Structure 1
């Protein structure tokens, strides 16, 4: 069991290092701007709370 836990901890540390590396990479490169454009195109950044509330409130 100790061996499995050691392997699991190493995998978690490797995952964390890759996460940090790619976060820094995307924020420093121009590719992050393309991702921002894609998110804006998909409508993820917009506040659509009014439309959602209109859909969830019952009609009177």
Structure 2
């Protein structure tokens, strides 16, 4: 049983490290356009900040 618990704890730690790394990559602005296709689908990747704010203020 102790062996199973050690393996489970190691898997949890590895999963947590992978989660943190993925979150850092998603938040990184230089990598974000390559990972997030939603920006390209919505067509908001080439507009300025003022146009973006106008979109949400309407």
So what's the TM-score if we normalise by structure 2?
0.52
Higher relative contact order (CA 8 A, sep 6+): 2
Q: CA deviation at 1:17?
A: 0.8
Moved over 3 A (4+): none
For 1:1-55, what per-residue CA distance to the aligned partner results, in whole angstroms no more than 9, with x for missing partners?
A: 11111111111111101110121122114221341xx22417xxxxxxxxxxxxx
Equivalence for 1:14:
14
Gaps of 5+ in 1: 43-60
RMSD of aligned Cα (Å): 2.0
CA distance in 2, matches of 1:21, 1:8: 20
Unmatched runs of 5 consecutive residues or more in structure 2:
43-58
From the CA coordinates, give the structure whose radius of gyration is larger: 1
